[in-house]
Amino acid sequence: MRLTRKQVSLSFGYGRYLVVILFAALLSACGGGDAQSEDLVGGKRPVFVTVAQVTTEDVEVKLYSIGRLVSQNTPTLAAEINARVIESLVDAGETVSKGQELILLDTTNTELIRREALADIQRLKVSIANEERRVARYRDLKTKDMMPQERLDDAEAKLAVDRATLTAALARLAIAEDRLAKARLTSPVNGVVEKRHVSIGDYVKSGGPLVTVTDTHALRAELPFPETVGSQLLIGQQLFIESPVAPGLVVEAKVSHIKPQVGSMSRALMVIADLENPGKWRPEATVEATAVIERRPGSVVVPVMSVVKRPAGDVVFILTNTDEPRVRQQPVRLGQRQNGSIEILSGVVVGSTVVVEGAHYLSDGALVTVRESQP
């Protein structure tokens, strides 16, 4: 069916009329929303909130640091004699016990010296016994004027020389036995072999490194703190230390030492805590430490969510007990945070009721409806 020009014109006009009606309806709806928003902001309609009581709690002032673990003992054992390595009993990564043999050195020459000293000692003991009998006999004869004094003096001198020679032979034996003991390198601590510096067949000289052993039981935590808090750190303060190598394990320790100098690059003060390995910790591992520098019992606290920022600073909203519940904006001075609460140094008193959820949407004197109370 074909439409005439007049019919088309009427249809187009009718459509424009519908669009105008719809646009007017949308403007009306928007205008109503603005009125409603103004009504809410102006406090004419209540804001739904939750509240909590101002209470007291023991507050701890803490400092935090990330440091590292080191071993208290990491000796590098060196050769004490010149000798060749004939046996290596351990390798890097092996656990060793105090007194366990690690390296054996060649003792052939030292053993010969020891045997020579033993032979000399045996010979001299026989000679001394014989000279003692001779001197005794000569002295007896001298008392009877049957022996010249010169022969007695010679016998006594020979006895003195033999005794001195025996002392020297005993010293040579002790030196040889000491060298034999030093040819068997033993661990001075319980720990782990960090590095073996020699192999079988190497000739080592006195002072040359053989094995490095790390004590994994006696550990030390090195913890840097900013120099600005140096006056708050004291020897004996409590520390709570944990390491990612053993998640969930917290060790309690105390500050053992504080290094006297501030780090030239980091500008940090190094705090040291000596402790025993709780099980799976390792030297050079990262540690996180919390230092408790002060305890304040009975501090006034509120939930963290109840504190909001306003042009006046940090504030809380205190619920007023009227038939029509409203809130009063109260500036506060904040202290430490802990366990979801924040310390209030001034501004509120214990027993007051503060808004928690919904506090960010309030202004001084706003009308509220309490939905529920925080425990």
Any idea what the CATH number is for the domain that residue 343 is in?
Answer: 2.40.420.20
Is the pLDDT at 13 greater than 50? The verdict is no
**Domain check: are 82 and 209 in the same one?**
yes
- Give the mean pLDDT of 17-32: 41
- Is residue 101 domain-resident? yes
**Interhelix angle 108-143/149-182, nearest 10 degrees:** 160
Give the model confidence (pLDDT) of 82-117 as tens digits: 999 999 999 998 999 999 999 999 999 999 999 999
Cα separation of 326 and 322, whole Å?
7
pLDDT of residue 322: 66
Q: Which of 267, 295, 323 is the last residue of a domain?
A: 295
Edge-to-edge order in the sheet of strand 191-196: 76-78, 209-214, 191-196, 95-96
Is the pLDDT at 151 greater than 80? The verdict is yes
**Domain check: are 289 and 305 in the same one?**
no
Domain that holds residue 243: 64-72+216-295
Binned at pLDDT 50, 70 and 90, residue 375 comes out as low
pLDDT of residue 339: 84
**Domain check: are 166 and 260 in the same one?**
no
Cα separation of 349 and 301, whole Å?
9
Report the mean per-residue pLDDT for the chain: 85
Hey, what amino acid is at 2? R
Is the pLDDT at 43 greater than 70? The verdict is no
**Domain check: are 103 and 220 in the same one?**
no
Cβ–Cβ under 8 Å, residues 284 and 71:
no
pTM score of the predicted model: 0.59
For 280-290, b/e burial (b = at least 16 CB within 10 A) is ebebebebbbe
Q: Which of 252, 270, 295 is the last residue of a domain?
A: 295
pLDDT of residue 67: 94
β partners of residue 238: 254, 292
| 114-128, 187-201, 313-327: least confident range | 313-327
pLDDT of residue 33: 40
**Domain check: are 56 and 110 in the same one?**
no
Cα separation of 212 and 202, whole Å?
17
**Domain check: are 122 and 179 in the same one?**
yes
Question: How crowded is residue 25: how many other Cβ atoms within 10 Å of its Cβ?
Answer: 10
Say which DSSP state 3 is in.
P
CB within 8 A of 24, min separation 6: which ones? none
Split into its structural domains, the chain has a count of 3
Say which DSSP state 344 is in.
E
Cβ–Cβ under 8 Å, residues 370 and 51:
yes
Is the pLDDT at 9 greater than 60? The verdict is no
Is the pLDDT at 239 greater than 60? The verdict is yes
**Domain check: are 84 and 202 in the same one?**
yes
